[in-house]
Amino acid sequence: LTTFSHQSIDESSARVTVVGEFTEHTDFSEVLELSSLRLVFDLSGVSRINSCGVREWIRLMDALRGRTIELHKCSVPFVAQLNMIVNFVGEAKVCSFFAPYLCVECDKERLRLVERERALELPEFMACPECGAAMEFDDLKEVYLTFVTRR
């Protein structure tokens, strides 16, 4: 299930929060009905994307072409698609995303929000905010950051 919520930021901008999965059941028409020239997406709640979901999302990005589209707080599953599919976001701008770190002491993955401009400064290790142990980037960093270095 996917839910959309939106609120206006100003006369020409709206914030769109998407929570859930992108699948063949995802209907983006609610987003298409928004008339704002600038759409600011919050994608932190995107939990899973299958191949049909990829197709629907690319269709949405195509339909929104010409407007200003900002993608904020891209979730780890969203970044995975961003890395695999060159045209995944079209002309939209990725502004920030989550980076996965693993603390073996806590046995937990911890997500860190990163601004797109600071992506290449991400450290391989950082202190766990809970226990203070060193936690490690939970993927191959150069692979996870493919979408940053690709162009």
For residue 132, the minimal CB distance to Zn ion (Å) is: 7
> Residue 63: exposed, middle, or buried by beta-carbon count in 10 A (0-12, 13-18, 19+)?
middle
Q: Binding residue for Zn ion (CB under 5 A) from 61, 103, 114, 148?
A: 103
Interface with Zn ion (CB under 5 A), residue from 62, 105, 109, 115 = 105
Nearer to Zn ion, 105 or 117 (CB): 105
Q: Residue 28 in contact with residue 6, Cβ under 8 Å? A: no
Under DSSP, is residue 36 helix (H, G, I), strand (E, B) or coil?
coil
Task: Tell me which of 27, 91, 115, 130 binds Zn ion, using CB under 5 A.
Answer: 130
| Binding of residue 62 to Zn ion (CB under 5 A) | no
User: Of 128, 137, 145, 147, which lies in the binding site for Zn ion, with binding defined by CB under 5 A?
Assistant: 128
Please say which residue, 92 or 103, places its beta carbon nearer to Zn ion. 103
Cα 63 from chain centroid (whole Å): 19
The residue assigned the tokens 């046995």 is 107
Q: Which positions lie near Zn ion, rule CB under 5 A?
A: 103, 105-106, 128, 130-131, 133
